[in-house]
Amino acid sequence: MASCIAFHSYKGGTGKTTIAANLAALLAKKGHRVFLLDLDVYAPSLQAYFDKEPKRWINDFLNGTAEVGDIIMDLTPAIEEVYYNSNLSAKGKEKEKEKITGKLWVGFCNSKKEEIYKLEGGGGKQDSSKIQLLRRFILLREQLISLHDADYIIIDTSPGIRYWSINALAVADTLFLTLKMGDLDIEGTKKMAEEIYGSFTKFGARSYLVMNRVSGYCVPEHVSDLTITPHITPVPGIASSSTTTSSSSPSSSNIESVSMMQQQKAESNILSSALASDIRMDIISAIYCYCDIQFTKKEFLTVLKYPDHPFAKQFELLAQKIEGVQSKE
């Protein structure tokens, strides 16, 4: 059965687009037919992320001027190129690269001011035209499944409680509420979870927390030769603990930094579980803040570009959980 996953958050910049795009690409690599839709209609970003110029937009389908086949762009060749040119570690190279056996299509959203205005029902008599747009959105989901045999529809939404975010949550069967550590608004998130998510989970949708940018991976430069091996450090709430140190004798400042990191990690773990019970949602994934991703010019499909990176491993776990849930249905 097809699954429709919406990435949402209370605040902006929590990693929705990054996680949605990487997850979509990984599920495609694993053999699924994946449709990634940009429903962040107020500030679309998938077009900039993939650097593609679509002929038609999701907006055209919603306005009734395009068919579903016109607005989905087949990006399978693009992700194949990234993956087959990817960097594997020496260890990774020993294994032959798996093939990309699935497909990825992306539906882009138009960022022009007048197009955003139309999606707010500005094109016609406000309420009726808004409902007509919503009907078309429901049809889009149905047609991706019935005409295009979708396994996964992944929707990137706008943060907060806005018309199109709520529509995306209503259409999805799995809701991923994404939180960024270090910039949490627990009260706001909790209120939103109770008021909005509750009404969807009541009707069978599942909701999970995705904790992003959790501390514990980035090693300050002056302790990097000590070394806490970041590549095998656990992801809070997901993997088991395994931290190694080298035999070199650490300076006292190194020890302070390491113990600070361990303290941060412990605090993160406590905060994550307190949050999960407060918001009453399980954590499906906790993703480290990866400074090597954050400070590259632009993060782009790290799961395919660096398949050995711990970020990619984290997504592998998330994909397996998603596949597990789907296969039970």
Ligand X SMILES: Nc1ncnc2c1ncn2[C@@H]1O[C@H](COP(=O)(O)OP(=O)(O)O)[C@@H](O)[C@H]1O
9 is an interface residue for ligand X by CB under 6 A: yes
17 is an interface residue for Mg ion by CB under 5 A: yes
- The window from 16-24, 27-35, 85-93, 132-140 that contacts ligand X (CB under 6 A) reads 16-24
Min dist CB 135 to ligand X, Å, is 27
- By beta-carbon proximity to ligand X, the closer residue of 164 and 290 is 290
* Full DSSP string of 167-223: HHHHH-SEEEEEEETTS--HHHHHHHIIIIIHHHHTTT-EEEEEEEEESSS---GGG
Q: Of 45-104, which residues contact Mg ion (CB under 5 A)?
A: 45
Give the 3-state secondary structure of residue 111. Answer: coil
Q: Which two tokens stand for residue 250?
A: 């650490």
299 is an interface residue for ligand X by CB under 6 A: yes
Q: At residue 217, what are phi and psi to the nearest 5 degrees?
A: -100, -45
* 18 touches, from ligand X, Mg ion, none (C-beta below 5 to 8 Å by class): ligand X
- Asked whether the beta carbons of 226 and 262 are under 8 A apart, the reply is no
- The window from 15-23, 50-58, 279-287, 299-307 that contacts Mg ion (CB under 5 A) reads 15-23
Residues 255, 179: Cα–Cα separation, whole Å? 30
The residues near 228 (Cβ < 8 Å, ≥ 6 apart) are 219, 243, 244, 245, 258, 261
- By beta-carbon proximity to Mg ion, the closer residue of 38 and 115 is 38
Q: Which two tokens stand for residue 275?
A: 């949050």
State the DSSP H helix or E strand holding residue 284, giving kind and residue range, or none if neither: strand 282-288
Min dist CB 255 to ligand X, Å, is 26
Beta 33-39 vs 3-8: how paired, if at all?
unpaired
13 is an interface residue for Mg ion by CB under 5 A: no
305 is an interface residue for ligand X by CB under 6 A: no
212 is an interface residue for ligand X by CB under 6 A: yes
231 is an interface residue for ligand X by CB under 6 A: no
Q: Which residue's structure tokens are 């593609």?
A: 52
* 290 touches, from ligand X, Mg ion, none (C-beta below 5 to 8 Å by class): ligand X
Interface positions with Mg ion (CB under 5 A): 16-17, 45
Interface positions with ligand X (CB under 6 A): 9, 12-18, 212-213, 287, 289-290, 293-294, 299
